[in-house]
């Protein structure tokens, strides 16, 4: 059904399948991407996308019950530079004040080649933690909400709204109407402003009711039943995916800073919209050259000698692996900051170390790939070894210290 409707408008179409489904390698000529769920799903998807970076300008992630208006999407994206780090979609703000999370709904969001180039080295080797752990962190874990996780990962490298980093563009049209719909069009017109997650921090100028949506919407969602999709998809295809004369259609607004309702924002935040006290260990950006900073990490807390001992051991492994310390010296301080994070935040301890370590490994891996070598698996194996070692150390560490609430 997708192939016969909006799939025609995609330059390249992938179907992502769970490995356990034992699906085919292709379906009606469309390649399938098989991944193991629930763990490692983001790693493998991003790794596969990285191999396609030079072939395409824009990458769309959509749910299987989302219809994409590819004609309108192309018309919208033609005004943006794909080499700039753009992260486009329907921005949700409900978790901003408590968790420092601003993200695009996973119904459908778009990432430019520039965004994935910037994010790739950090996300290719995410550490894995158990379900319900570190919900506000850029990690790979069972039960992770894919869209907020992507939002916090993007935010860590500066792909987030702010005074200088305008990478999360405001996708409302020139009349403040929604372009990325997270429900069906006929359902959006029924939504009126009220105290719900949907309206949280949305400025009062955003339209509602019959005026809610742009005539050039780029997606619609919630066609979960097959018979409903079979009925609606041809109708949506005929209505929205026909060729248009874009020279007669108003341009989208210029990229602008993050907009919000000041009357709802009764908390402190900085120029990059980071709240005063982000979750400890969350990766945040504090400006150009200050990406991937560790929130709340305390370099002046030397109480745990075992952590410093382990730091020395890990650095030795790093030096043996990379052969050249100069390759990682620019990140050395960040690495130390992560290791000496306050011990009471013990659930994030493995994350602190393995996240930065595997970032270095992924950087090294990219260098090897660029030289055409097949030795990169040695570094992946090394990353897995170190992550397992860290988990064992964490278990030992927790047994030796009293638990903090």
Q: Which residue has the higher pLDDT, 378 or 267?
A: 267
Model confidence at 66, pLDDT cuts 50, 70, 90, reads very high
Query: Quick one: average pLDDT of 335-353?
Result: 43
Query: Do 248 and 315 lie in a common domain?
Result: no
Count how many domains the chain has: 2
Query: Do 332 and 391 lie in a common domain?
Result: yes
* Pairing relationship of beta strands 15-18 and 283-284 according to DSSP bridges: unpaired
Q: 84-98, 126-140, 244-258, 356-370: which has the highest mean pLDDT?
A: 84-98
CA atoms 217, 219, 225, 230: torsion sign: positive
- Last residue of some domain: 242, 264, 286? 264
Establish if 394 belongs to a structural domain.
yes
Model confidence at 165, pLDDT cuts 50, 70, 90, reads low
Query: Do 95 and 151 lie in a common domain?
Result: yes
249, 243 contact by CB (below 8 A):
no
Query: Do 69 and 126 lie in a common domain?
Result: yes
Nearest 5°: the CA angle 318, 343, 391 is 50
38 DSSP 8-state letter: S
The model's pLDDT over 284-338, given as tens digits with 9 standing for 90+, comes to 988 888 888 878 765 445 444 455 445 555 555 554 554 444 334 334 434 444 4
Token duo for residue 296: 């709340």
Tell me if residue 379 falls in helix, strand or coil: helix
- In this predicted structure, the answer to whether residue 404 has a pLDDT above a threshold of 60 is no
Q: Considering the chain, what is the average pLDDT of its residues?
A: 75
Q: What was the pLDDT predicted at 296?
A: 77
Query: Do 339 and 255 lie in a common domain?
Result: no
Query: Do 64 and 143 lie in a common domain?
Result: yes
Helices (runs of H) and strands (runs of E) counted in the chain = 11, 12
- Last residue of some domain: 241, 264, 287? 264
* Pairing relationship of beta strands 15-18 and 30-35 according to DSSP bridges: parallel
Establish if 396 belongs to a structural domain.
yes
In 341-375, which residue ranges form alpha helices assigned H by DSSP?
349-370
Query: Quick one: average pLDDT of 100-108?
Result: 94
355, 297 contact by CB (below 8 A):
no
Q: What was the pLDDT predicted at 323?
A: 44
The model's pLDDT over 115-157, given as tens digits with 9 standing for 90+, comes to 888 888 777 667 666 666 678 888 877 766 889 999 999 999 8
Q: For the whole model, what pTM was predicted?
A: 0.75
CB atoms within 10 A of CB 205: 10
Query: Do 220 and 319 lie in a common domain?
Result: no
Query: Do 237 and 320 lie in a common domain?
Result: no
Of 28-42, 81-95, 212-226, the range with the lowest mean pLDDT is 28-42
Query: Do 223 and 346 lie in a common domain?
Result: no
Contacts of 89 (CB under 8 A, 6+ apart): 104, 105, 107, 108, 109, 110, 171, 180
Q: In which domain, by residue range, is 349 found?
A: 309-400
373, 391 contact by CB (below 8 A):
no
Query: Do 260 and 313 lie in a common domain?
Result: no
- Last residue of some domain: 229, 264, 299? 264
Looking up residue 24, the CATH number of its domain turns out to be 3.90.550
């Amino acid at each position: 059904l997708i192939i016969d409707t909006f799939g025609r408008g995609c330059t390249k179409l992938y179907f992502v399948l769970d490995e356990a489904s034992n699906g085919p390698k292709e379906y009606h000529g469309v390649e399938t991407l098989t991944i193991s769920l629930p763990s490692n799903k983001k790693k493998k998807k991003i790794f596969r996308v990285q191999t396609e970076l030079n072939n395409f300008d824009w990458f769309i992630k959509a749910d299987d019950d989302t219809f994409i208006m590819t004609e309108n999407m192309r018309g919208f994206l033609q005004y943006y530079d794909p080499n700039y780090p753009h992260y486009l979609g329907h921005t949700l703000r409900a978790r901003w004040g408590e968790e420092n999370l601003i993200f695009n709904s996973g119904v459908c969001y778009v990432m430019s080649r520039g965004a994935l180039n910037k994010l790739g080295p950090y996300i290719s080797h995410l550490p894995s933690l158990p379900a319900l752990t570190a919900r506000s962190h850029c990690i790979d874990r069972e039960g992770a909400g894919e869209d907020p996780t992507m939002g916090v990962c993007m935010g860590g490298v500066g792909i987030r709204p702010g005074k200088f980093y305008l990478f999360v563009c405001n996708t409302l049209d020139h009349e403040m109407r929604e372009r990325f719909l997270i429900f069906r069009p006929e359902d959006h017109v029924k939504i009126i402003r009220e105290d719900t997650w949907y309206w949280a921090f949305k400025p009062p100028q955003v339209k509602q009711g019959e005026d809610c949506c742009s005539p050039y919407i780029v997606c619609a969602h919630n066609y979960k039943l097959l018979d409903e999709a079979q009925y609606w998809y041809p109708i949506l295809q005929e209505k929205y995916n026909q060729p248009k004369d874009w020279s007669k259609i108003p341009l989208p607004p210029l990229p602008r800073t993050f907009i919000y309702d000041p009357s709802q924002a009764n908390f402190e935040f900085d120029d990059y919209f980071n709240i005063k006290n982000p979750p400890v260990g969350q990766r945040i950006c504090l400006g150009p050259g200050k990406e991937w900073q560790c929130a709340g990490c305390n370099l002046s807390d030397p109480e745990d000698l075992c952590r410093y001992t382990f730091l020395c051991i890990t650095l030795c492994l790093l030096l043996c692996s990379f052969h050249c310390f100069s390759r990682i010296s620019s990140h050395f301080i960040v690495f130390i900051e992560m290791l000496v994070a306050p011990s009471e935040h013990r659930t994030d301890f493995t994350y602190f170390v393995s996240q930065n370590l595997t970032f270095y490994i992924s950087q090294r891996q990219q260098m090897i790939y660029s030289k055409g070598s097949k030795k990169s698996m040695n570094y992946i194996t090394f990353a897995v070894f170190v992550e397992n070692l860290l988990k064992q150390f964490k278990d030992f560490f927790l047994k030796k210290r009293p638990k903090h609430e």
